[in-house]
Amino acid sequence: MGRLVVTEFVTLDGVAQAPGEPDEDRAGGFTHGGWQAPLLDHESGAAMFAQASSMDALLLGRRTYEIFANYWPTAPAEIPFTGLLNRVPRYVASRTLREPLGWAGSRLLGGDLAEAVAGLKERHDELHVIGSLDLVQSLLRLGVVDRLNLWLYPLTLGSGKRLFAGGTVPAAFRLTESVTHATGALQLTYETAGSPTYGNLAHPAQGRDG
């Protein structure tokens, strides 16, 4: 069974909407698009590509698919992501798009989401999700995410779509990697670790379930 890996770029107040450019996603009147760009450098970009290069398939929500399909098929070849994202098979979770999809090598993910993702994890060693916030919320609720690659940036925006929005289910994670980059960005890798445990600080001797 393969692993499902989610990569997200997030501000300190949890916003993950439109990190790349001003018009990437203005839903909800969002005016802060492109907030990540000034905080990127060669080192962090190389680390992002190293993380992504282990994927052998990509799963996207409709909005992120449309953003990617509008750019990556004709993106400059010297960008490392260009070859990678055009090479791997891509699956799109959408109820509104219809096949054939315009980006060659892309196909719609049909049927029940949990069953479809389970089938993809049987066929691929590492199935990656980038962006796709609505889809990620569904995947987290289903408990099918195996690893979170979070890039935490030193700014707050006060509005926008958040990674952990309403409907987030209780879950525990284990930090497996933490890297600080020169721009102040934190590269954090978390593995899923079941459900939260609880204790009582007023009676520490009682243990987790006191």
Give the DSSP H or E segment for 203: none
Contact 113, 42 (CB under 8 A): no
Kindly state the percentage of the chain with pLDDT values over 70.
97
- Supply the pLDDT for residue 207: 55
Q: What are 158-168's pLDDT values in tens digits?
A: 999 999 988 89
CA contacts within 13 A on the Cβ side of 98: 0
Q: What are 87-114's pLDDT values in tens digits?
A: 999 999 999 999 999 999 999 998 999 9
Q: What are 9-57's pLDDT values in tens digits?
A: 999 999 999 999 999 999 999 999 999 999 999 999 999 999 999 999 9
Could you give phi then psi for residue 68, rounded to 5 degrees? Answer: -65, -45
167 backbone φψ class: left, alpha, beta (φ>0; ψ -120 to 50): left
Contact 190, 175 (CB under 8 A): yes
CA angle 134, 95, 9 (to 5 degrees): 25
Residue 208 has pLDDT above 80, yes or no: no
- Supply the pLDDT for residue 209: 55
- pLDDT band at 133, cuts 50/70/90? very high
For the chain, what percentages of helix, strand and coil (3-state, to nearest 5) are there?
A: 30, 25, 50
Q: 22 preceded by cis ω (within 30°)?
A: no
Cβ-proximal residues to 85 (8 Å cutoff; 6+ apart), any chain:
58, 68, 72
Task: Enter the tokens of residue 78.
Answer: 């010297």
**Positive or negative torsion for Cα 163, 190, 91, 170:** negative
